Amino acid sequence: MRYAKDERVVMTLDAGGTNLVFSSIKGEKEIIDPIRLDTPKDNLKIFLERIVTGFKQVESSLSEKPVAISFAFPGPADYKRGIISDLENIPAFRGGVALGPMLEDKFNIPVFINNDGDLFTYGEAIAGFLPQINSLMEKNGSSKKYHNLFGATFGTGFGGGIVHNGELFLGDNSAQGEINRMRNKLLSDCSVEDSVSIRGVRRVYLSETGINVKSCPLPEEIFKIGTGQKKGNKQAAIKAFEELGIVAGDAFANAITLIDGLIVIGGGLSGAYPLFINKIVEEMNKKYKTIDGASVDHLEVKVFNLEDDKERTRFLEGEKREIEVPFTKRKFTYDSLKRIGIGITRLGTLRAVSVGAYTYALNQLDKKGSFYE
């Protein structure tokens, strides 16, 4: 459901380990200049007071009363009940903090908290990647339509989310889409996040160049080195992002086996996709070896890079076949190519999260009016 023309206002927050960025959304659009406050990592009282202060500043800048608060917050958490658990990057949260109920009491409006990977995927499913691909399919004369989307964020960590038939998939323990916990193909004792992250890209570049840790460039610079826009060890830069692609591709293949839908990538590293997306697709389309020496496709579906013109054209065309209906003279036409596509955020990560947060809040309000039990 789209709320692009809805007049209701929802206050939002992008909570990170460095900054708390407050804003307000109406009709899927930001209506105030974001308010940024520092994140007090080690003092819970100050942290909670700062969140309240931030939302009060947003509220005071509005000409109308907001109907809800909806935002992304790091986990682990019991998002359904608004309880934040022990956070690795924000040590102040320990033992369980009822953040959602506290804000409901303070502002007397419903409060909705979700994981950023989930809200990113929801936003792209509503107004970004998923509808765009379906529109292209329709314009190309295809009857095929996609209903499922797996979203992943590449940045400080490796996050994920799942949307099925227009609904955000929520697990029984608020642990859905946690692709970062999968095993790392290249480092079998580690999780995929050790390669699919900022630290993973920098680790490989350091290993390949032997430079000092303090002089190691950030991923944005490593990308420029890998694409020849900046001087440096080009091969090391390319390898750093290719390793990310290999590990992410293996994780995606395992995840999408259970979901069977499109894949969209966002996050701070997504802009470097020219150096890793082909490796992801290559990894997902690899074959297994069987015990008797034969081979079998890694996936039942073929994966296409939707950022590549030729692959996108092939994806849109499919394979139309005409067959006879047994024992009749009737003909039946169908698309025999089982396929999924992978591409980069169409809204931008922050906007996708905002659209997801806004839509989630209004959808919940339209259903039942409150969130916490």
Whether 220 is in a domain gets the answer no
**Secondary structure class of 38 (helix, strand, coil):** strand
**pLDDT digit string (tens) for 168-221?**
999 999 889 999 999 999 999 999 999 999 999 999 999 999 999 989 999 999
Cis peptide before 76 (omega within 30 of 0): yes
Let me know whether 359 and 328 are in one domain.
Answer: no
CA distance 111 to 103: 7
DSSP for residue 78: E
User: What letter represents residue 112's amino acid?
Assistant: F
Contact predicate 83/97, CB 8 Å: yes
Give the pTM.
0.93
Provide the CATH number for the domain around residue 13. Answer: 3.30.420.40
Closest to 77 in 3D by CA, of 46, 100, 54, 56: 100
CA distance 255 to 269: 20
Task: Report the DSSP beta bridge partners of residue 68.
Answer: 10
Q: What percent of the chain has pLDDT over 90?
A: 82
Residue 351 reports pLDDT greater than 80? yes
CA distance 192 to 373: 35
Let me know whether 111 and 254 are in one domain.
Answer: no
User: What letter represents residue 129's amino acid?
Assistant: F
CA distance 286 to 177: 23
Residue 276 tokens read as 């890793």
Let me know whether 78 and 171 are in one domain.
Answer: no
Let me know whether 313 and 262 are in one domain.
Answer: yes
Residue 372 reports pLDDT greater than 50? no
Residue 338 tokens read as 């089982």
Contact predicate 133/306, CB 8 Å: yes
Let me know whether 176 and 303 are in one domain.
Answer: yes
Whether 122 is in a domain gets the answer no
Task: Report the DSSP beta bridge partners of residue 163.
Answer: 149, 168
Let me know whether 94 and 68 are in one domain.
Answer: yes
Query: Region 250-278: what's the mean pLDDT?
Result: 97
Residue 306 has what pLDDT? Answer: 98
Contact predicate 109/68, CB 8 Å: yes
Let me know whether 252 and 319 are in one domain.
Answer: yes
Contacts of 328 (CB under 8 A, 6+ apart): none
Whether 91 is in a domain gets the answer yes
Let me know whether 41 and 151 are in one domain.
Answer: no
State which residues form the domain around 330.
Answer: 129-192+246-346
Contact predicate 130/352, CB 8 Å: no
| Orientation of helix 129-139 relative to helix 116-127, angle to 10° | 30
Whether 197 is in a domain gets the answer no
Whether 326 is in a domain gets the answer yes
Whether 317 is in a domain gets the answer yes
Contact predicate 225/231, CB 8 Å: yes
Residue 93 has what pLDDT? Answer: 85
Q: What percent of the chain has pLDDT over 70?
A: 98
Residue 369 has what pLDDT? Answer: 52
Residue 356 has what pLDDT? Answer: 96
Let me know whether 93 and 65 are in one domain.
Answer: yes
Let me know whether 57 and 101 are in one domain.
Answer: yes
Let me know whether 278 and 156 are in one domain.
Answer: yes
Residue 94 has what pLDDT? Answer: 83
Let me know whether 342 and 356 are in one domain.
Answer: no
**pLDDT digit string (tens) for 303-319?**
999 999 999 999 999 99
Phi, psi of 153 (to 5 degrees): -115, 125
Place of tokens 């999968």: 182
CA distance 314 to 102: 52
Whether 228 is in a domain gets the answer no
Number of separate domains in the chain:
2
Give the CA-trace dihedral at 51, 54, 56, 58, to 10 degrees.
Answer: -140
- Tell me the pLDDT band of 96, cut-offs 50, 70 and 90: confident
Whether 240 is in a domain gets the answer no
